[in-house]
Structure 1
């Protein structure tokens, strides 16, 4: 794969390290999977990563602009699940406007047009406001327009900041870095929340998250962020510490907000089930806040003295 990320020794090293960790942890958990429910849940999650991780590295290692195309596709898939959860998938005008907006964000990211990128929510809102006129209908239109804009901002504007990050130095590595950190934090948070601490953070929203579990998973994520800082163009402390905190706290916030949406809609899983982790939206919900926060903080960090 000459001319792609696969030709880089750093990329090859990253693939080997990550897949080795997943395989070794999976081997350990496999032998204990029948001991209790929690080992069985952990095994289900690791099984999914034995499939997802190699696929992720293959896709993100493709030549430009294919990694960006992958991100656009994931954004559209996540938006599809969102509209199904909201019971809006039959409202094709609103769904197609959101899809078109996500594709436009991909084009903005490709040409590095941040100015157009940041006005896309207004364009999507304006297009959504035309739908009642086209249909000559007013019933529930305020709800449809609001939900369309919310879905676009979360699964389009927020998530597609990963496409903007691709323009950073070693951008593809930074995107992979963020995905690894957010998923690691999520899995350790779930696992530790079942064993460590009894004080729930938001028991009515997500009964599996404890204060102690969040704190320990944050520390472990910071350790991983430091261990894999070679993926950052600047491995100094302020960069990997910032990335670890964003992945932990921003990811937790994104996961919690999506839990609110799912619980309010009364729908937990929609569409194809991914081994060990619900639907497509479960795979990307932690990145909806991580991506934009990381993007803007990394732009600001060089001018900040820490």
Structure 2
């Protein structure tokens, strides 16, 4: 428990510092986090029957996030992002030379890693630029709401948890925990506008509802994936916490939806 607390404290401190230090710290850091998370995904799903083309997948994630970064920094035209689709053809051609048990599974899991992990991290990076220029308080507010939802869910579940949310997938999650996480995230969101004026109260509140609802579902989806692959944690990078995917599972589903909300209804 002590190791978990120390790791969590320093991890949160690093994330806050990276976001506040500006785009040239924020973008490279979360690009590397996204790419490493793709690597964790491929390691997790690899088995005797399934062997993702991890080198192509990881390089595609790195290239895609780097191209996105250059577009966000106005160093590259948006249409250059289309080059990433060329790697789908590289993947198909490389698969022709494989002699594994199920090549189609290999291709499918390789592409799924990009869809499930790389694209959500790309959209989280986009949150920093959704207003047109880099604004650290939107991604920072997102992370704060994600953390408060997790904290509220843990405390409420530990204290009042009775009714299982998805016992088949995650036996420890309860409806009381889900509601507790959502309530705490909503409470914090109502105060964020006082300190972060990037958004007004109703916009932070909507973000909290999206994160509280779909962040929990993202956690459940990763639990389902781990249960299906027979692993306890996505990795061992963070002592007491597991891997990066274990820490950012809620982001994978919440970040794309928050980005769409802000893009279509706010900016």
Partner of 1:137: 99
Superposed displacement of residue 260, structure 1: 0.6
TM-score, scaled to structure 1: 0.76
Q: What is the CA distance between 1:71 and its match in structure 2? A: 0.7
Partners of 2:68 and 2:207 in 1: CA distance: 24
Structure 2 alignment gaps of length 5 or more:
none
TM-score by length of 2: 0.86
CA deviations on 1:235-288 (whole Å, 9 max, x unpaired) are 132x01111011111111111111111000001124325244222211111111
How much does 1:123 deviate? 4.3
- Asked if 1:235 is matched to 2:200, the reply is yes
- Does the aligned pair in 1 maintain the 2:95–2:107 contact within 8 Å? no
1:159 to 113, 121, 125: 121
Does residue 95 of structure 1 match 2:68? no
Cα gap change, 1:138/1:82 in structure 2, threshold over 3 Å: closer, same or farther? closer
Following TM superposition, by how much is the alpha carbon of 1:185 offset from its aligned partner in structure 2, in angstroms?
0.9
Structure 2: distance between partners of 1:139 and 1:228: 52
- The runs of 4+ residues in structure 1 deviating greater than 4 Å are 113-120
* Change beyond 3 A, Cα 1:213–1:44: farther
Distance in 2 (CA, whole Å) between partners of 1:102 and 1:165 is 18
Question: Per chain length, whose mean CA-contact separation is higher, i.e. which structure has more relative contact order (CA < 8 Å, sep 6+)?
Answer: 2
Deviations for 1:25-81, whole angstroms, at most 9, x for unmatched residues? Answer: xxxxxxxxxxxxxxxx5x665433321122122222334333111111001111111
C-alpha distance in 1 between matches for 2:41 and 2:206? 30
| Alpha-carbon separation, structure 2, partners of 1:216 and 1:270 | 26
Q: Provide the aligned C-alpha RMSD in A.
A: 2.6
- Counterpart Cα distance in 1 of 2:150 and 2:102: 36
Q: Secondary structure, in 3 states, of the residue corresponding to 1:160?
A: helix
**Equivalent pair of 1:201/1:211 in contact (CA under 8 Å):** yes
CA 219–271 in structure 1, closer or farther in 2 if over 3 Å, else same:
closer
Change in Cα spacing, 1:244 to 1:88, as seen in structure 2 (3 Å) is same
In the alignment, is residue 283 of structure 1 matched against residue 247 of structure 2? yes
Which is worse superposed, 274-283 or 215-224?
274-283
Greater Rg by CA: 1
Question: For residue 3 of structure 1, what is the aligned residue in structure 2?
Answer: none
Question: Hey, what does 1:301 align to over in structure 2?
Answer: 265
- Superposed, 1:55-94 pairs within 5 Å as 55-87=14-46, 94=53
Give ranges in structure 1 of 5+ residues lacking alignment. 1-40
State the distance in 2 between where 1:138 and 1:205 align: 30
Correspondence 1:203 to 2:162: no
Provide the secondary structure at the position in 1 that maps to 2:242: coil
Q: CA deviation at 1:117?
A: 4.7
Deviations 1:141-183 (A, max 9, x none): 1111111111111110122101211212353211111112112
